[in-house]
């Protein structure tokens, strides 16, 4: 198979920007709508309810990982395998049907364990009312993961964004009405998600059959299952790293404290979710990019752009935490504000680690990535049990930060040892300087009123691009691109005004 000639670096950066933009639509939309929904549900749900919801979501995720929820991740490999290029409809049909059947099996296995989970994990009999809805959602959850994988491998970006936004809108509408208006609390939250998943699954089934006539193969299912089993190992490790703190926290503190910490963690993870849209592009393109003749400068530039995105997200969350929570949530939840900067910084460091570890995959050494994931698991468990019993939710936040710092250091050392590379050190130093100065000013000048907090945070955020420009962070080519974009916007505005 012939390969297309390498595009220019500028074309590649434009392509990366466009891909990131498309994939960011559902990611950012989900988080933005979620924050708005918080303003409703936190005025109806108690902190105990919110803690219960968070633990239900995490239990569902754990069970999915343990019970072959990673099966659909095998789609990409088999979809592009040369001997199956003419049988893609069979590959797609097998992965979707197989995912649904595995979801049914997972629900059947989990249901009898309801009593054990309620007693040992939730430490509340109330969980017995809600766990059946979690189990009933599993076949739809597994199936939707397979459908979304199909949309990505088919490169149906617009369809992916549209169906994701439809799912977000339906879920938000149902939750606002049932929880916010009818005060149906936790049961309505879970029931809405179950109904929405069923509706979206039906839509995707119809869409699939309009485009293809899928079939299924048992022998292919077995191959896919074997391929997917190792992928679950890293997922298990990273789930514990990401969410184990909430389970440990529940063993030592109240559900109310779990609820506050869960809110802070969700908001802190906005950084990782914002980066995920870029990572969706990078993880797919890294193989070709690192084979280019100009791979070193292209990699260095993309690393700078990823770092810039992460710094901006951390600043927005840090500066906006206090005024944002005062505006959006009930007073009982505002204790989450001091935790948000720590968790946002932790997720930024985590994202840097993920960016670098893609070099392992491109080099054909995925085991190195797994080693770091499991090292992170060991570090996180140690820190959780050392810090959470003494410091509560602050212990969870500090442990999360420490874990991702260790994983980032291992990723930096491991990838550089495997294949030395360069980064744009001078530009990264300028970015870090502006970032640090803004944070120092923020913490040195505390303000109390909502108006003052909002104004001071807005001013500091505006200093970020100003400081970068003043330190000549943009290259000449980037400056010219920004000038051209600004000129185009001004010209369009003038034409509209004249019309």
Q: Is the pLDDT reported for residue 452 higher than 90? A: no
Nearest Cα to 270, choosing from 369, 352, 169, 344? Answer: 344
- Say which residue, 351 or 363, is predicted with more confidence: 351
Between 328 and 102, where is the model more confident? Answer: 102
Look at residue 1 and tell me whether its pLDDT is greater than 60.
no
The rounded radius of gyration (Å) of the Cα atoms in the chain is 23
Q: Is the pLDDT of residue 25 over 70?
A: yes
Q: What is the pLDDT of residue 277?
A: 82
Q: Give the Cα separation of 245 and 338 in Å (integer).
A: 17
Pick the more confident residue, 243 or 5: 243
Rounded Cα distance, 260 and 332, in Å:
8
Question: With 50 as the cut, is the pLDDT of residue 173 above it?
Answer: yes
- Given a cut of 50, whether residue 3 has pLDDT beyond it is no
105 pLDDT above the threshold of 50:
yes
Written as six digits, the tokens of 108 are 């059947």
Q: Where are the domains of the chain?
A: 42-216
Q: Is pLDDT of 496 > 70?
A: no
What H or E segment, with its residue span, contains residue 269? none
d(CA 113, CA 355): 38
pLDDT at position 494, please? 66
Non-local (6+) Cβ contacts of 95 within 8 A are 71, 72, 74, 75, 78, 146, 149, 150, 224
Spatial CA neighbour of 305 closest among 345, 278, 280, 285: 278
Supply the pLDDT for residue 249.
85
The CA–CA distances, whole Å, from 334 to 41, 338, 427 equal 14, 9, 36
* Long-range contacts of the stretch 421-426 (C-beta < 8 A, 24+): 421/296, 421/299, 421/300, 421/359, 422/296, 422/297, 422/300, 423/300, 423/303, 423/304, 424/300, 424/301, 424/303, 424/304
**Three-class secondary structure of residue 212 per DSSP:** coil
pLDDT at position 364: 63
pLDDT of amino acid 4? 42
Phi/psi for 486 (5° steps) reads -65, -40
Give, as one character, the DSSP assignment of residue 122: I
Mean of per-residue pLDDT scores for the chain: 83
Residues in the chain: 499
Among 174-183, 274-283, 422-431, the range of highest mean pLDDT: 422-431
pLDDT of residue 410: 95
CA distance 272 to 49: 25
Q: What is the pLDDT of residues 203-214, one digit of tens each?
A: 999 999 998 888
Measured distance CA(469)–CA(121) in Å, rounded: 51
User: Which pLDDT score, from 0 to 100, does residue 282 have?
Assistant: 76
Please tell me which of 339-348, 369-378, 449-458 the model is most confident about, judged by mean pLDDT: 339-348
Percent of the chain with pLDDT over 90: 31
Position 94 scores a pLDDT of 94
């Amino acid at each position: 198979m012939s390969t297309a000639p390498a595009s220019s670096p500028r074309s590649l950066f434009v392509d990366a920007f466009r891909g990131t933009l498309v994939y960011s639509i559902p990611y950012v939309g989900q988080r933005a709508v979620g924050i708005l929904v918080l303003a409703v549900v936190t005025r109806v749900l108690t902190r105990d309810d919110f803690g219960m919801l968070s633990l239900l979501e995490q239990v569902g995720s754990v069970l999915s990982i343990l019970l072959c929820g990673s099966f659909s991740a095998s789609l990409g490999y088999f979809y592009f395998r040369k001997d199956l290029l003419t049988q893609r409809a069979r590959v797609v049909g097998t992965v979707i049907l197989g995912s649904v059947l595995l979801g049914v099996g997972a629900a059947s296995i989990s249901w009898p364990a309801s009593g054990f989970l309620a007693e040992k994990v939730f430490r509340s009999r109330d969980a017995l009312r809600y766990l059946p809805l979690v189990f009933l959602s599993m076949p739809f959850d597994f199936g939707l993961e397979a459908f979304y994988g199909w949309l990505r491998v088919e490169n149906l970006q617009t369809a992916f964004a549209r169906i994701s936004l439809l799912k977000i809108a339906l879920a938000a509408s149902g939750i606002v009405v049932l929880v916010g208006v009818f005060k149906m609390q936790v049961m309505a939250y879970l029931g809405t998600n179950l109904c929405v998943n069923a509706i979206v699954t039906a839509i995707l089934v119809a869409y699939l059959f309009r485009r293809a006539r899928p079939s299924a193969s048992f022998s292919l299912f077995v191959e896919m299952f074997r391929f997917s089993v190792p992928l679950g190992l890293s997922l298990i490790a990273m789930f514990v790293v990401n969410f184990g703190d909430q389970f440990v926290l529940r063993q030592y503190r109240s559900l109310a404290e779990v609820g506050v910490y869960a809110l802070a963690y969700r908001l802190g993870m906005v950084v990782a979710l914002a980066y995920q849209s870029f990572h969706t592009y990078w993880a797919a393109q890294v193989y070709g990019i690192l084979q280019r003749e100009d791979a070193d400068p292209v990699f260095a530039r993309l690393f700078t752009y990823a770092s810039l995105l992460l710094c901006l997200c951390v600043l927005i969350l840090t500066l906006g935490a206090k005024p944002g929570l005062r505006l959006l949530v009930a007073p009982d939840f505002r204790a989450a504000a001091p935790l948000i900067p720590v968790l946002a910084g932790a997720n930024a460091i985590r994202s840097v680690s993920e960016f670098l570890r893609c070099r392992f995959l491109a080099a054909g050494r995925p085991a190195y990535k797994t080693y770091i994931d499991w090292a992170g698991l060991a570090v996180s468990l140690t820190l959780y049990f050392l810090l959470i019993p003494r410091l509560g939710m602050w212990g969870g936040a500090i442990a999360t930060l420490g874990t991702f710092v260790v994983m980032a250091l291992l990723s930096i050392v491991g990838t550089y040892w495997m294949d030395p590379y360069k980064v744009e050190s001078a530009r990264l130093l300028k970015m870090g300087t502006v970032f640090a100065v803004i944070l120092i000013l923020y913490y040195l000048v505390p303000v109390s009123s909502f108006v003052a907090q909002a104004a001071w945070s807005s001013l500091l955020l505006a200093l970020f691009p100003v400081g970068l420009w003043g330190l000549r962070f943009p290259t000449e080519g980037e400056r010219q691109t920004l000038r051209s974009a600004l000129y185009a916007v001004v010209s369009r505005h003038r034409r509209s005004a004249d019309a």
